[in-house]
Structure 1
Amino acid sequence: MDYNYRLDLSSLSKELRLLLEILKTEDYDSIGLVKKELYIDIDWEVFLQLASYHRVYPLIYSKLKRADDNRIPPHVIQTLYKEFKKNTLQMLLLSGEMEQISELFTENQIRLLYLKGPVIAADIYGDISLRTSKDLDILISITDLKRTEELLLSIGYEKEVVPTVLNDWKWRKHHVVYFHPQKNIELEIHWRLQPFPLKEPKFNELWERKRVSTLTSYPVYFLGKEDLLLYLISHGARHGWFRLRWLLDIDQMLRKGLKLEDINLLISKYQNRKLVGQALILASELLKTHMNDGWEKLTEGNDSKKIAQNAIEFIKGTESLATIMSSKYYKHYSLSLNSNLQRFFFFLILFYPSSKDLMTLRIPKPLHLLYVPLRPFLVVWRKTRKPS
């Protein structure tokens, strides 16, 4: 990494600094060696809120419980333990559902790859209790979408109803959500890894590089190492890395010795060097992730440094995803991630009718093509009308 370059971390709260210090301390016995000044005037409620917000409380708890550090108030450990136990039960529930869904889909000749969830926790951390997951993310071929919906509805899942016009979901969406009210489990069925127009491998290519998990007795397939790393990087970048959990994933994968030569071709092919550089800078600066010279070369671009610094604004806060993604700052940040060609396609999509147009002006379905010429006027109308 360019050691003359450092992120400006002056805006980070003392609670977040302590959280980061604990996360990047590898040796449990060394937790007690964390600088004493980091514990001064800590608001432990804020510390707990940040551990929950960043979804890192399982790892924080696993470190603190073995550190026997009397500088940590007992109620903090107890709160972390309750959340840790709750998450472990959730991951066990998701593991069972993951296996059942895999068996059901395989029996019906539908190929699926798990993107996140217990299978990723086991692969990256070696223990499903050390990573959180609220749902199961599944990637399938877009040609299997209809059959997938039929299968899930047949076993009690309900599909999230999202208005659509002129099949705009193909351009604006990359997944659909299903929820099982009895099991209280949510599935995200993806037909793309990331929203269009981000460039990515085809499903068949990902399937050829798939791995099989040893977590369950029935075969469960998930992304190859290189594909998983690039997916997690793109996902984290797109969300402004507002969860430290995503950076921890990158940190853990690199610590396991992932070789650059195995991923360089994919980085070049799918034009995400800037995002990889951003992730490496953030992981190195915030978590002290070690990387060899090959990886360090990917951090040298000014674009990577700029978007890494911009992401700090999301990492330091406690705002919801909805609030973050609706902000002007995020919209500017999001555009900065894309290449010039991707920006062109992004703006092109803006002229395609959306469900918002459907809600603004109801037109009978046979006449939905009228939304194309009406789109600019409807956008202006929404922006100028006063809230009632």
Structure 2
Amino acid sequence: MDNNNDLDLSFMPKELKLLLQIMQTENPGYQGCLNKELFAEIDWELFLKLARHHRIYPLIYSNLSKMDEKLIPSHVLHTLSQEYKENTFQMLNLSGEMERISQLFNENGIRSLFLKGPVIADAIFGDISLRTSKDLDILVPKLDVNKTEALLLSCGYEREETRSPFKMDKWRSHHVCYYHSQKRIQIEIHWRLYTPPAKEPSFDELWERKRLSTLTSYPVYFFGEEDLFLFLVGHGAKHGWFRLRWLADIDQIIRNGKFPLLIKHQRHLVGQALLLASQLLKTQIPEVFVPFTVEKRSRKLAELATYYLVEMGYVSINQSSKEPLINHDKLHPLLSKPKFKRWFTLFYYNYSVKTNIQKVIYVLLHFYPQSADVQTLRLPKPLYFLYFPLRPFFVVWRKSSKLTLTVKRIQKAENK
């Protein structure tokens, strides 16, 4: 890709840049091109925290284990090795449960498509140990949701209560979580892929294009190649690609040659994903997709996402050093206050990635009461209407409280 179109990555912490380069070492033609200077003056504790946050530590360990051990401190390799083994056991455990649940649903006349988890790791990487997954996400027809719940409850799963007193929250819901305390496994049952009013294929269409997994002896079904690619693109875009694991999926799918040749929808999101993959992971973009990456909207979303993934990493690991993970002066110079700059950029990304009707709803929801408001101040049901005028005060209160706690944690760390 033309260097004139390169994204500005100068604000990224060097530990994140090192992770990105290690992820690239499996790319064809990359061997022998490792920049060893990147290993100098690395905060290895931050390196590990970022690897965990981005859920890429299995890939990082796999690649590091093939490199010169002198470049990496022994305790870092040992830590990654242990977490790699723990993840492998977790994925094997999920694989067994995935097969049992698939059989349970099938024997009770429920069609199911597994969205993520071991089946996706096997399909994309050919090795379940190279990808992480904390739960099983399963798509079922909406008419079968109640029947699905009854089956899970009969097997020892408990529904995680997230019922909201507000109708808007109920209308926008598209999945329910269940947890098995003995197995320590979480399952998310979806009847939609995205929050309404997003446009998406019907279950029947997805079922028609399904694939059979080779991972299990009992049939387990998941998305066809095109549906999986577009789902992963949509999921990553929705969350600002704040976990590099999602981008690693896109990179691997393209390197496997398992991507759709014709894309009619979500061109700007596909362009964003491909641009990020090519810039961060040096993915070789197929010629047919290059026009997607030069579209103005795709590039804008990619620029915002680079900020988003770094900023969310900063929030996630609660960095306690004096130096921030990101140089906030590099973006949006017209905004003088860093805190406001961060809030505005994250809000602007979430707004920009949506369709026109989604943008309207997104803005309106900022004025609509949420479940968090009820937790902030519990009012009798006849007084629920007061949540509307009180919502701005609740939002400011929660933001201020979080900021105060963060400042105290940082000050405490600095005084140690």
Q: Which residue does the alignment assign to 1:290? A: 284
The question of whether the paired residues in 1 share the 8 Å contact of 2:14 and 2:42 is answered with yes
- The one-letter code sitting in structure 2 at the alignment partner of 1:338 is K
The question of whether the paired residues in 1 share the 8 Å contact of 2:53 and 2:316 is answered with no
Offset at residue 218 of structure 1 (A): 0.6
Q: Which residue does the alignment assign to 1:382? A: 394
| Unmatched 5+ stretches in structure 1 | none
Relative contact order higher in (CA < 8 Å, ≥ 6 apart): 1
The question of whether the paired residues in 2 share the 8 Å contact of 1:171 and 1:349 is answered with no
The question of whether the paired residues in 1 share the 8 Å contact of 2:94 and 2:135 is answered with yes
Offset at residue 95 of structure 1 (A): 0.2
| Unmatched 5+ stretches in structure 2 | 319-341, 402-416
Q: Which residue does the alignment assign to 1:98? A: 98
User: Partner of 1:177: helix, strand, or coil?
Assistant: strand
Aligned partner of 1:346 among 340, 362, 386: 362
Residue 181 and residue 201 in structure 1: after superposition, are their counterparts in 2 closer, same or farther (change >3 A)?
same
Q: What's the CA shift string for 1:225-282, capped at 9, x where partnerless?
A: 1111111111111111111110000000011113543x413x2xxxx21111111110
- The one-letter code sitting in structure 2 at the alignment partner of 1:264 is I
Aligned partner of 2:351 among 335, 350, 356: 335
**1:148 equivalenced with 2:148 (yes/no):** yes
Q: Which residue does the alignment assign to 1:264? A: 263
**Whole-Å Cα distance in 2 between the matches of residues 327 and 195 of structure 1?**
22
Offset at residue 32 of structure 1 (A): 5.6
**Whole-Å Cα distance in 1 between the matches of residues 56 and 106 of structure 2?**
33
**Whole-Å Cα distance in 2 between the matches of residues 251 and 239 of structure 1?**
17
- The one-letter code sitting in structure 2 at the alignment partner of 1:301 is E
The worse-fitting range, judged by mean Cα deviation, of 248-257 and 64-73 is: 64-73
Q: What's the CA shift string for 1:27-47, capped at 9, x where partnerless?
A: 699666411211221222222
Offset at residue 141 of structure 1 (A): 1.6
**Whole-Å Cα distance in 2 between the matches of residues 335 and 281 of structure 1?**
20
- The one-letter code sitting in structure 2 at the alignment partner of 1:22 is I
User: Partner of 1:168: helix, strand, or coil?
Assistant: helix
What is the alpha-carbon root mean square deviation over aligned residues? 2.7
Offset at residue 168 of structure 1 (A): 3.4
**Whole-Å Cα distance in 2 between the matches of residues 385 and 241 of structure 1?**
28
Offset at residue 330 of structure 1 (A): 2.2
The worse-fitting range, judged by mean Cα deviation, of 272-281 and 60-69 is: 60-69
Q: Which residue does the alignment assign to 1:184? A: 184
Q: Which residue does the alignment assign to 1:49? A: 49
Q: What's the CA shift string for 1:175-215, capped at 9, x where partnerless?
A: 11111000000111111112122221111111111111010
**1:304 equivalenced with 2:298 (yes/no):** yes
The question of whether the paired residues in 1 share the 8 Å contact of 2:159 and 2:179 is answered with yes
The question of whether the paired residues in 1 share the 8 Å contact of 2:44 and 2:76 is answered with yes
Residue 294 and residue 117 in structure 1: after superposition, are their counterparts in 2 closer, same or farther (change >3 A)?
same
Q: Which residue does the alignment assign to 2:14? A: 14
Offset at residue 294 of structure 1 (A): 1.0
Offset at residue 339 of structure 1 (A): 2.2
Q: Which residue does the alignment assign to 1:62? A: 62
Q: What's the CA shift string for 1:61-112, capped at 9, x where partnerless?
A: 1112122442122222111100000000000000000001101111111111
User: Partner of 2:87: helix, strand, or coil?
Assistant: helix
Q: Which residue does the alignment assign to 1:315? A: 309
The question of whether the paired residues in 2 share the 8 Å contact of 1:351 and 1:375 is answered with no
- The one-letter code sitting in structure 2 at the alignment partner of 1:273 is R
Offset at residue 380 of structure 1 (A): 4.5
Q: Which residue does the alignment assign to 2:162? A: 162
Q: Which residue does the alignment assign to 2:171? A: 171
